[in-house]
Structure 1
Amino acid sequence: MSTYGTLFRVSTYGESHCASVGAIIDGCPPGLELGVQDVQTQLSRRRPGQSNLTTPRNEKDLVHLQSGIEHGVTLGTPIGLLVKNEDHRPHDYSETDLYPRPSHADYTYLQKYGIKASSGGGRSSARETIGRVAAGAIAEKYLKQTFGIEIVAFVSGVGKIHMPFASPSTADLDNDEIDDAISPDFLKLLHTITREQVDSHPTRCPHVETAERMTQYLIPVQRIIRAKDAQDSIGGTVTCVIRGVPAGLGEPVFDKFEAKLGHAMLSIPATKAFEIGSGFRGTEVPGSKHNDPFVTREDGSLGTKTNFSGGVQGGITNGEDIYFRLAFKSPATISQSQETAQYDGTPGSLAARGRHDPCVVPRAVPIVEAMAAIVVMDQLLIQNARKAASSLLPPASTLPPTMVLPAGAQ
């Protein structure tokens, strides 16, 4: 389906080489001051042609707000927005009439619908994410103004180069006592990182030492440029932190917060894996060291000492920073000649002519932020609706104090 969300609903439309792409956002609260620049900033971070590390397709990706706003204020009615496709070249894809491109959606779309887009990736193209980014920017402005929520994503790995996010393991086969699931320095970075720091480096990696290694990895004759020169590609990982989310979001048991977050993230093109909090590393740490003990914060509220849970426990947010990591595969569109088969099974050789990113992770950063904002926005509206409905009831007089939230507790 092309719609995501329950109360904050986002429907995207458009293919990679049609006239335009865009979205309809339903459920945005009325009264939010909203202008083109609120949306354009994130679209410009996502757009192609930003550097020699991205696809040379030159799209301005200028957004046009069509409905749901008057005098710069949302009306509460559906917001329509579109972005025109201007630099598209359908003729670059004539070979897909004969060949399903390796690791693309050509074959599977044809099997599902009995018809497919004749140029580009159609709905499976990353052009579809424009509508997501625009909707996410709107959600993000509301979240920032009402709850002070901040969302920052960054590149944490390219190829075999990764940011250090876990303490070095000192374990051997006879001793599984590992220091920490996540290093304190990494948790501190998550709590303070800004988009300005992320965007200060072309790799969008905020860790200085790793960024320098990536720079060496990315300069001409090195990794991404080397892959680009070889008509090849390379993958990577994006880490995201969501700060300021109140406790209580998430709908157990099937719509737990991390389940909705994983659903949203794995719907992004080219994603292959998702982990939240300590993730796979947490499986290597004994429970005695992985548990998050509760402590009293300076403001008197409860918090956790370590936050290895990544801000979610029992499928419900606990008020701590929410952080997760997402893996993006090496882009499937490469110009190398590949031995493959035509739709009729005839063996052959295919060399794609379309323009492509040799590595998608720098441009994926605002897409990840957008989907995170959409998830939080939807879950926040659901929880607020529940609280509003409950507030209309008279206080229950038969419940013991241990079953209700203490007065003044957060």
Structure 2
Amino acid sequence: MDADALRQFTRRIVRLDQNWGLAQPRIIGQVRKWRIGERSILESNCLFQFPTSEMFIFHSSKLLKCFNCATNQNSTVLDLNAYVRAASFDILPDQSVIMGLALRGGPRFNTSMLVFARLELNSDKTAVTGTVLLRQTLTDESDCEKPFVSATIVGAVRSRDKTTEVLAYNLLNKTSTIIETDIPIDYTISRRLEFSFHEENLYMLADDCTKAYIYCCPRDMLPYDQTSDTSYSICYRALRPLRFANSTWKRRTMVSSQMYRNASFVKVHDVMGPPGSTFGTSFRFWQRADRLGEKDLVQETIVPGVCPGELTLQVGLTGHHVVAALLGPGQSGFTLTLVSSNPEEGSCSSHQLQLPVDWSAPPPNILSVDDYQGVVWLASHGNLLAVPYA
């Protein structure tokens, strides 16, 4: 950054600290809207936003594309010749991105492939270039793939012969290994796994609504220096029912779980109270039980409304863990809920923004919470939306 950008960045962080202290943030400007392309039923559209920029990566017509909000133009980054089933990415310190894509291609879209690529912004942040690091075609018996990525190790989890396997590749020396695990195949088939790298270990979160497990593939199992055919796991104790004053809440269904880099995670549930009460959504922040003993559930907040399943988790510029979820629809539209967890203070607060109703369009997908520019980015049926908040 130059001196001017650094000053703006500092002012933005100070403003964010003030904003997160407000009881009700609000939409402070016009919701901007761009058309980025048609959406097919087989496609995942918007995939991620490059940090501190208005550059977005999305998938359309078998192509990996970049959309530039400043110029209102899109360009092709990579020709995948396949459709995206699942995606993962990791933003590196140099602001480049390692991306993993599980694809379906072939004449009948029945060929499973994995593609790992590095995406980079040019110096003036006006264009993106892509380089394929690894392309792997999987055998027919691999009935599910889900990619994970880091700066050095990439790979995927698949179920084969009633066994969950980890396929890991070292991008530096091109070595690979296959690790058999004791993860039930129900998790891989239903894609309930989340991934995180911490201290060069690979952690996998498997969540079946009633209990959660953290499986750890240690460094020496991954193809850094050596490989091993033994497995190792760290277990979370079962999530216990919670009781609240004057009423007992029951978990109705799990919406989603997402991991932090340190293998802690957040669980989002729909919950309901006694007869006659309204539905709510619970945001529970869990720490690793093997580190904190009995203090595994550290923070929770419940907000009114039902979450249909769209949310995103990220760490904001001020150090807050921010979960964005879409609740509704209600009579006046969808409610965008931002739940902020401050791990240093042990506090948890929720903020809600009311989005205008549009009954002709499907619910939007939450793309990212852009603390740098102060907007929440959403994608809906080929449209990109920017909601400015404060």
TM-score normalised to the size of structure 1?
A: 0.25
Report which of the two has the higher share of helix.
Answer: 1
TM-score normalised to the size of structure 2?
A: 0.26
- Structure showing greater radius of gyration is 1
